[in-house]
Amino acid sequence: MIAVEHSVPRTAGSGIAVALLVGVALALVPRAVAAEDTVTLSLTIKDHKFDPAELHAPANTPIDIKIKNAGDIVMEFESSDLHFEKIVPVGREGVVHVRPQQPGRYNFFDDFHHETQGYLIVP
Amino acid sequence: MLAALLIVFREVFEAGLIVGIVMAVTAGVPGRTLWVTGGVAAGVLGAGVVALFTGALSELFGGNGQEIFNASILAFAVVMLTWHNVWMARHGREMAAELHAAGEAVVEGSKSLAALGAVVAVAVLREGSEVVLFLYGVAAAQGGASFAMVIGGFVGLFLGALVCLATYLGLVSIPQRYLFGVTSALIALLAAGMAAQAIAFLEQANILTALDQTVWNTSWLISDSSFLGRGLHTLIGYVDQPTAMQLIVYAATLAVMIVLMKLFGSPPERPRIAAAE
């Protein structure tokens, strides 16, 4: 009796869940296609230097920048030009999402140590 | 020592501006010292907890934990500031007219104090967690807290506290009849700036992608990283390269606050009485 009571709403529930999933998947299609173009760049910070200190990315393309803190002190990965600020503790990795950019030279830095500077170059 | 001094001063300065404004707004309200001190204490405690869990926080929500956390607490502060301003529009003049002895007004007043206490806590938590992370990071890198770092930290804290005091004294020296208008405007700009900052975090997390193009660039005039830029960022939400969505939300926050203050504000005869004096 209890099993039947359970199974009925479960079937109905899973039907709704499938419908929802399909709906969500359909809604996400344009975004998923857009995400495929995203360029992922990686850099490391160590001894107050970005490696590489210059990143290159194509114009008009969304960019993800992966930053790994291989130094011995916490850093705040920040850019006014590219609109991000993220604290990356020692030994951790962070990702910032950057919207598609026009050609230009964009600065980023460690907000805790301003001598640590880097650039994103979009030709 | 200088690095510790500068970072601590920078963060305490930013939180101090907000604490100074809140103290000026609540000047003369019974019980405000308790709420402001409580807000600072809660903020310091929260800063320690956030600093401790920053690594874990970063990994939540597909790596966007910091962004979502910051956007959430900023949104919370915006609601508290709006609520306070609307409440003050209704009761502020009565309180200024020393009617605050009435039992109901005091109870209501303490609710408004709670809202501002929460704003203080959020401000101290946000800036404080950076201080804790930075100082802990320096100490860990050096293999222990050095004397110079501790001195630098305390000097930074002291100078930052002076900014808080100067903000407070500057504001309370404004004649009483203008003070209400000035502080209401400051609170409104503070809220709009925080709302725009919350948008920046949502954009950074890719949660909000509509209208995220940069509208203008005034970094040649006042850079975000300069002290003036940081001060203006805290006070009025200045950013040197705002996105369209940030500007829209900034304006919308101000508009909503003004409309709510007009809707729920005190009846218009009071200004007339004031004008007749």
| Total domain count, chain A | 2
Q: What is the pLDDT of residues B23-45, one digit of tens each?
A: 998 887 888 889 999 999 999 99
Q: Report yes or no: A63 at the B interface, CB cutoff 8 Å.
A: no
CB contact under 8 A, B200 and A83: yes
Question: Virtual CA dihedral for B36, B257, B208, B246, nearest 10 degrees?
Answer: -90
Nearest CA in chain B to A115: B3
Percentage of chain B modeled with pLDDT above 70 = 89
Residues A22 and A46 in one domain: no
Q: What are phi and psi of A38, to 5 degrees?
A: -60, 130
CB contact under 8 A, B224 and A83: no
Q: Is B13 exposed, middle or buried (0-12, 13-18, 19+ CB in 10 A)?
A: buried
Residues A26 and A65 in one domain: no
Residues A31 and A54 in one domain: no
Banded pLDDT at A33 (limits 50, 70, 90): very low
Banded pLDDT at B96 (limits 50, 70, 90): low
Residues A80 and A117 in one domain: yes
Looking at every residue in chain B, the average pLDDT score rounds to 87
Select the residue of A74, A81, A114 nearest B137 (Cβ to Cβ).
A74
Percentage of chain B modeled with pLDDT above 90 = 59
CA–CA distances in Å: residue B179 to residues A49, B26, B47, B175, B245: 48, 11, 32, 6, 32
Q: What is the pLDDT of residues B229-256, one digit of tens each?
A: 999 999 999 999 999 999 999 999 999 9
Residues of A in contact with B225 (CB under 8 A): 80, 109, 111, 114
Which regions of chain A does DSSP assign to beta strands (E)?
A: 39-46, 49-51, 54-56, 63-69, 75-79, 84-88, 93-98, 104-110, 113-122
Residues A73 and A113 in one domain: yes
| Residue pair B114/B122 in contact by the 8 Å Cβ criterion | no
**A-proximal residues of B, 225-244, CB under 8 Å:** 225, 239-241, 243
Asked if the model's pLDDT at residue B164 lies above 50, the reply is: yes
Domain housing A13: 1-36
Residues A97 and A61 in one domain: yes
| pTM of the model as a whole | 0.82
Reported ipTM: 0.81
Q: Verify cis geometry, omega within 30 degrees of 0, for the bond prior to A89.
A: no
Residues A91 and A80 in one domain: yes
The whole-number pLDDT of residue A29 equals: 43
Instruction: Pick the residue of B50, B133, B220 with the most A CBs within 10 A to test the interface with A by mutation.
Output: B133
